[in-house]
Amino acid sequence: MLANVNRRSLEAGKEHMAERPSSPAIALLLAVLLVAPAACGGEVAPGTSVRVRAAVTGDEGTLNPYTYVSGFPGWNLLMLQYDSLMQLDKSGVPRPWLASEVRVNADLTEYSVTLVEGVTWHDGRPLTTRDVAFSVDYYLNNAEASRFARDLMDVQDVVVTDDYNATFVLSDPSAGFEMSALADVPIIPRHIWESVESPSEHQFEGGTNIGTGPYRLIEYVEGRSYRFEANADYFMGAPAVDELVVIVFADDAGVQTAIRTGEIDVIFERIPPEQIDLLDAQDPLDIALGPEFTTQMINYDASKRPFDDVTVRRAINLAMDRQDIVDTVFLGAATVGSPGWIHPGHPSYNPDIVAIYDPVAANSLLEEAGYLDSDGDGVREFDGQPMSFEIITNSPDSLRLRIAELTAEMLAAIGIRTSVAAVETGTWEQAVWPGFDVNNGRNYDIAMWGWSAPVQADPLRLPQLVTSVPVGGFLNLTGYENAEMDALSGTLGTESDPAERNRILGRMQEIIAEDLPFVLLLYPDGAYVYDSSVYSDWEFIAGQGIVSKLSLLPPSARP
């Protein structure tokens, strides 16, 4: 099933959104992921070669593991040429790829892999486990300028049994190793890289870009374009797109103009919500829509009055009309936030948790807890002071600024007065997360906040957000503490049974939804525009978008 959306299904999704606030966001997701028929249009006569022109807005260097620039879409373009041992499927779960099989021992310290036989590098040499072991050593020995060394930090040794079998031995149990390392680290050829002594100083040319991936980079014009040619001998089958040209644009406005005039066939970056309908209305453009794991949320300092009182936090949570924010600021192109943190499109989501909007209940909660408006100015008081706070947000994120405005409006309805302060990103970060170290405390009352996708994509990182600071909550920005949460986090990291891990995660989501260490408002959806008359089989990987090798392989070769 593809995540492609034609105009009809997008509208169907919107109609559903109109019946707010009863419609949960999962309905939109379902409409998008399941109801949507597979690709429309774009029938390509057999035998003709398919050429796709894509746009990005920044140069990505020579696109090898040491020269690509951005995490997105740089890493995604890199992985068109290289493969990892595992590959995320469309719901974002790691599946065997270069490794035909991955086995893990009971205490999560040994991952054994068996390679697919007969895989060759672009230059015809065979891939063996010696390349795998070499890759790990190489990344660890050349740790600067590479994120892959961080992924492999816990690897003590790679024991090679024969050409196709090897075992990763880890220093600490790691339940997330498949996601964070096996599905992330590109395997590089030993015969090419052993002569590259210091990759951060090496002058790379295209010749280094030998991988096992479905595409070869055959031309790179700095600051202008990349040309990829399909690898017809790819082990999962020849790609469906024969040539991919990636054009580097100077800015967003140029990209938006180019897709409208047909100079490009797809944008390898998310498009803003207000452009979705406009572009979709234009033939032959279509939109691919799907879940992203970035977040927009309210943080408050839960260690001080009045936010240390769970009643106040619950009232704030009830006062938030998430559907209204999704419809107003994102024009429906976002998913209503689960108060339990994990995205409804994520395999670890606990379906019992739903967001409720009930300002009346919120008001009576505050009323009963003694937060009264004794002087009749419309603002409640706590400890003799008015409940009047500043919401800080970072001004360059204009959608977040709009969310802050709506939040202020919704808080006013329960007698909490707030003013929105838009400050520089640095100032905002220093207030919420001084020195990027939670031990430094917090300098804010209420802040709009958001985490990037990796924090949520791997649910095993959840303890970092919600356990108390000494126990390992190094992303716990709100000063929240709960003993049961700390205990659950401890067992989560060492539990080897995936079903049991999911049960623990389910319970943690329940506690978060009751205790509200923060109020999760929404997850923006990813939206990508493409020309369906050129190519339309784009695969939306949950949390990753359409820029991946899966999009360019024939549907039968996708996991």
Partner 1 sequence: MTVTGHRQRATTRTALRSSRLSSLLGLTGVVIVGALVSAAVLAPWLAPYDPTERVARPFLSPSWDHLLGTNDIGQDLLSEMIFGARVSLTVGIVAAAVALLIGTAVGVVAGYYPRRLGSVMMRGVDMILVLPFLPLLIVLAAYLGRSLLNTILVIGVLIWAEPARVIRSQVLSLRSREHVLAARSMGAPDRWTILRHIVPRTALLATGSFVRAVSNAILLEAALSFLGLGDPIQKSWGSTLFWAQERLAFLTPAWKWWVLPPGLLIMMASLGFALVAFSLEERIDPRL
Binding residues (CB under 8 A) for partner 1: these are 252-253, 256-257, 272, 274-275, 278, 328-329, 331, 395-396, 398, 401-402, 405-406, 409, 420, 422-424, 427
| CB of residue 125 to partner 1, shortest distance in Å | 48
List, in order, residues 6 or more apart from 367 with CB less than 8 Å away: none
As a whole number of angstroms, the distance between CA 516 and CA 352 comes to 16
Cis peptide before 284 (omega within 30 of 0): yes
d(CA 142, CA 136): 10
Q: Distance (Å, rounded) from C-alpha 26 to C-alpha 345?
A: 7
Q: Which ranges constitute the DSSP H helices of 413-452? A: 425-432
Give yes or no for a contact between 108 and 494, defined as CB atoms under 8 angstroms apart: yes
Spatial separation of the C-alpha atoms in residues 227 and 256, rounded to whole Å: 21
Shortest separation between residue 411's beta carbon and partner 1, angstroms: 15
| Residue 525 C-beta: closest distance to partner 1, Å | 17
The Cα 87–Cα 96 span in angstroms is 6
Smallest distance, partner 1 to C-beta of residue 322, A? 15
Minimum CB separation from partner 1 for residue 422, in Å? 6
Q: Do residues 292 and 453 make contact, with C-beta atoms less than 8 angstroms apart?
A: yes
Give the long-range contacts of residues 546-551, CB within 8 A, separation 24 or more: 546/3, 546/266, 546/268, 546/288, 547/72, 547/73, 547/76, 547/77, 547/268, 548/76, 548/79, 548/80, 548/88, 549/79, 549/80, 549/83, 549/87, 549/213, 549/214, 549/215, 549/239, 550/87, 550/89, 550/90
CA angle 172, 128, 146 (to 5 degrees): 50
d(CA 417, CA 387): 6
Q: Give me the least distance between CB of 328 and partner 1, in Å please.
A: 5
Where helices occur in 371-517 by DSSP H, the ranges are 398-412, 425-432, 453-457, 462-466, 483-494, 498-515
Query: In the complex with partner 1, which residue's Cβ is closer, 182 or 259?
Result: 259
For residue 489, give every residue at least 6 positions away whose Cβ sits within 8 Å of its Cβ, in sequence order, or none.
462, 463, 466, 467, 471, 472, 508
Tokens in use for 13?
A: 């999704």
Q: Which two tokens stand for residue 33?
A: 């992921």
* CA 324 to chain CA mean position, Å: 23
